[in-house]
Amino acid sequence: MGLETVIVSAIAGACTLSFAASVYLVYRARPQPETGDLEDLIQNAPYHRLHNVLKIKSS
Amino acid sequence: MSPPPCSPGPAPGFFVIAILACSRQFAAMTPLPEFERRPATALVAMANALSMGDAVPDQDLARIIRAVVTSRAERAALLAAVRASNDPDSGLTVADLLGAFAAEAGEAEAQDRDADQIIGQWAQRLAAGALLASFGAAIAGTVTGGHAFGLTLLSFSGFIFAAASRLGGKGRMRVNAKERETAETLARHVLEAARASESKE
């Protein structure tokens, strides 16, 4: 095993580690999938609990 | 026989008093403002439902709070709704929910910062070191030909990729920090609005 093989594998290993860490960071920073529709959530909020507290338009 | 003297009409002061009394009466009868169905009122409704023992999914609550916190119009609508609310406790509950959301955003921000300092920084340093090493090996002639070119290209692209992933993480951190600060400020203002509505009553 020559010096060239050692150096090439060491540098390639360092690059692989760096790539793996970057992929992990990208995976962490990806936007969370949104569950459901926000408009749906707003229309179906428990407005009946605001009876006598706040007047909400009926639709 | 002389005609009976005309009875004097009411003094003008009487009309003024009557008009004032009527306007007071109308003001008392003014209907409460109606609020639209929007994220701000949905948040007040969810806070009231929570305080009455209903179960509200955490994800839904977080989405509604995020929608309120990220929009100026919704923040203003929330303050108006809390001020108009007949129940001062609902303002306290909303402020508490906002505080909890701010704490969660702060926690996510701290985790992102840790990941960036522990992983991102070292990934970038490792790639930079590999780039320098491949340059050195190519200049010294230890690695030649296609290997030297391939290593330089690999380590250079690794460095660029590490920098880009760190930038993405930093962007998310900034978004979290902004949400946390806005939620904290809004919680304080909601408390003041609840206090104002209490003293008005």
Helix extents (H) in chain B = 12-29, 39-51, 58-69, 72-84, 88-115, 121-140, 145-200
Q: Where are the domains of chain A?
A: 3-50
Interface of A with B (CB under 8 A): 3-4, 7-8, 10-12, 14-15, 17-19, 21-26, 28-29, 34-36, 38, 41-43, 45-47, 49-50, 52-57, 59
- Paired residues of B35 in beta bridges: A56
Per the CB < 8 A criterion, the answer to whether B62 and A36 are in contact is no
- Does residue B3 belong to any structural domain of this protein? no
What is the ipTM metric for this complex? 0.80
| Most A-contacting residue of B37, B82, B113 (CB-CB within 10 A), to test interface | B37
Q: Do B124 and A52 touch (CB under 8 A)?
A: no
**Measuring CA to CA, which residue among B89, B45, B85, B42 is closest to residue B67?**
B42
Chain A residues touching residue B115 (CB < 8 angstroms): 25, 28
The structure tokens listed for B142 are: 């230890």
Chain A residues touching residue B39 (CB < 8 angstroms): 38, 42
The structure tokens listed for A15 are: 């690059």
The structure tokens listed for B20 are: 């004032």
The Cα–Cα gap between B199 and B39 comes to 26
Terminal CA-to-CA distance of chain A, rounded, Å? 78
Q: Which of A4, A14, A23 sits opposite B143 (nearest CB)?
A: A4
- Does residue B9 belong to any structural domain of this protein? no
Closest-CA distance of chain B to residue A40, Å = 11
- Does residue B185 belong to any structural domain of this protein? yes
**Measuring CA to CA, which residue among B117, B151, B150, B147 is closest to residue B132?**
B151
- In tens digits, chain B (201 residues) has pLDDT values of 455 555 555 566 666 666 666 555 555 555 667 888 899 999 999 999 999 888 888 888 999 999 999 999 999 999 999 988 888 888 899 999 999 999 999 999 999 999 999 999 999 999 999 999 999 999 998 888 898 999 999 999 999 999 999 998 898 999 999 999 999 999 999 999 888 877 766
User: For residue B152, what are the domain limits?
Assistant: 37-200
The structure tokens listed for B183 are: 């939620």
- Does residue B23 belong to any structural domain of this protein? no
The string of pLDDT tens digits covering residues A19-42 is 999 999 999 888 777 777 888 888
Query: Which residues fall within 8 angstroms of residue A22, CB to CB, at 6 or more apart?
Result: B120, B123, B158, B161, B162, B164, B165
- Does residue B26 belong to any structural domain of this protein? no
- B145: burial class by Cβ within 10 Å (0-12, 13-18, 19+)? exposed
The Cα–Cα gap between B155 and B131 comes to 5
The domain tally of chain B equals 1
For residue B174, how many other CB atoms are within 10 A of its CB? 12
